[in-house]
């Protein structure tokens, strides 16, 4: 169902199951893994257009990439059209093929700044942001929700605006802002968004199995799906959904991730990332409490490798 390629603007995505941008998680090593396992695209963690002005170390780490990442997709967060245009045209983003605009983040600090999902209440500003990014010549996608709350569901109007403003794709998280990350997605509204436009519409929210992905497609008629936290918990889901033959286990994946993180990050950053990833991999894995505590205490990649080899020694 998801193995076919799809053109998004002028950019070819290798499948119709995508990995969502996740703050604190979708760093370079993870994106490489997701793509190798079958994800059609994988986005950076969200990058503030304001932070790009200063080119600090933290932002540089978020944007780290090299030639191993054959499709480079960045997600931008902000509220000022001119800042988006400057970022999109900057040397820092020159290597990136696709810009995704975050119009769906529901967290309070983002909303207070007029960013993320707050832009769904300012459709003229949202339109100007999309137009500003399109002037860079890059492929532009938008990730949004249904609206701020059940009384303010605006997804049909918003989807039409995205298309008219030049967006090449929309990803709709099937919840309102007040639902945060809980509750069954409101499938019918994603379906309405899909019916409202001609550009590809991807569906997001609550997908934690092959069955849930199929249900999402059936109920929304979307062009594909975007996975979020379950993609981090079990990246092998990408190969299951696309039918891509792989021989990986969680053990081989985590050790490969450790090697890549060790190459491109300082040791502290690599340790922090691998411990987070391993914690997700260990969900529902029995008898690992002691080893998990040891993992959190360890202070070197060499020691962490030994602990991970013991945790995942069975090849799970």
As a whole number of angstroms, the distance between CA 178 and CA 218 comes to: 25
Residue environment code for 87-121, b if the CB has 16+ CB neighbours within 10 A, otherwise e? bbbeebbeebbbbbbbbbbbeeebbeeebbbbbbb
The reply to whether 144 belongs to the active site is: no
First-residue to last-residue Cα distance in the chain: 26
State both tokens at 99.
């810009």
Of the residues 73, 105, 117, 162, which is catalytic? 105
Nearest CA to 38 among 243, 184, 223? 243
d(CA 102, CA 145): 10
**What kind and span of H or E run contains 293?**
helix 289-297
- Number of alpha helices (DSSP H) and beta strands (DSSP E) in the chain: 15, 10
> Alpha-carbon torsion 252, 277, 227, 58, what sign?
negative
Task: Quote the radius of gyration of the chain (alpha carbons, Å).
Answer: 19
Catalytic site positions: 105
């Amino acid at each position: 169902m998801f193995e076919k390629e799809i053109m998004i603007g002028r950019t070819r995505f290798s499948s119709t199951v995508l990995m969502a941008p996740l703050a604190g998680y979708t760093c370079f090593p993870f994106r490489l893994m997701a793509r190798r396992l079958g994800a059609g695209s994988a986005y950076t963690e969200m990058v503030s257009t304001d932070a790009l002005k200063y080119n600090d170390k933290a932002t540089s780490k978020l944007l780290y990439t090299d030639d191993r990442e054959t499709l480079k997709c960045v997600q931008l967060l902000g509220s000022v059209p001119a800042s988006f245009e400057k970022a999109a045209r900057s040397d820092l983003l020159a290597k990136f093929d696709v810009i995704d605009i975050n119009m769906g983040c529901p967290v309070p600090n983002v909303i207070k700044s007029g960013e993320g999902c707050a832009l769904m209440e300012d459709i003229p500003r949202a339109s100007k942001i999309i137009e500003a990014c399109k002037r860079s010549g890059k492929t532009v996608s938008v990730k949004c929700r249904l609206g701020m709350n059940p009384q303010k569901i605006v997804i049909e109007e918003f989807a039409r605006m995205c298309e008219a403003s030049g967006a090449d794709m929309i990803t709709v998280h099937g919840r309102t802002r007040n639902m945060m990350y809980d509750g069954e997605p409101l499938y019918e509204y994603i379906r309405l968004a899909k019916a409202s436009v001609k550009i590809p519409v991807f569906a997001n929210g609550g997908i934690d199995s092959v069955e849930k992905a199929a249900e999402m497609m059936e109920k929304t008629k979307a062009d594909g799906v975007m996975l979020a936290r379950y993609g981090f918990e079990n990246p092998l889901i990408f190969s299951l959904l696309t039918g891509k033959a792989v021989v990986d286990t969680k053990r081989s994946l985590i050790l490969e991730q450790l090697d890549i993180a060790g190459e491109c990050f300082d040791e502290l950053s690599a340790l922090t990332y691998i411990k987070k990833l391993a914690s997700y991999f260990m969900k529902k894995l029995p008898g690992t409490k002691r080893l998990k505590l040891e993992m959190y205490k360890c202070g070197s990649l060499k020691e962490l490798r030994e602990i991970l080899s013991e945790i995942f020694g069975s090849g799970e």
